[in-house]
Amino acid sequence: MFGPLPRRHSHVIAFAVLAICLAAGLWMGASPAVPVLVSGGLAMGLATGLVLSWLAVHTARHNHFRSQ
């Protein structure tokens, strides 16, 4: 999504997205209005964070094969 970035910037973006998703999962698990355990909220936040952080720093690579 952000295109080709230096490796350090990609790691910072991925870490920030993961931390935000983990905090949201912890908040969702600790909130009494949402019937989810804290560990379940953290697991959902971790899974969502991993997917979103990969999508944020992933660059599409198109393989062009030459036909001979």
What pLDDT is attached to residue 42? 87
What pLDDT is attached to residue 1? 58
The residue ranges of every structural domain in the chain are: 21-57
What pLDDT is attached to residue 61? 67
DSSP assignment of 12-64 equals: HHHHHHHHHHHHHHHHHHH-TTS---HHHHHHHHHHHHHHHHHHHH-------
Residues of the chain with pLDDT under 70: 1-3, 34, 59-68
What pLDDT is attached to residue 66? 60
Nearest to 10 by CA among 46, 62, 61, 56: 56
What pLDDT is attached to residue 17? 92
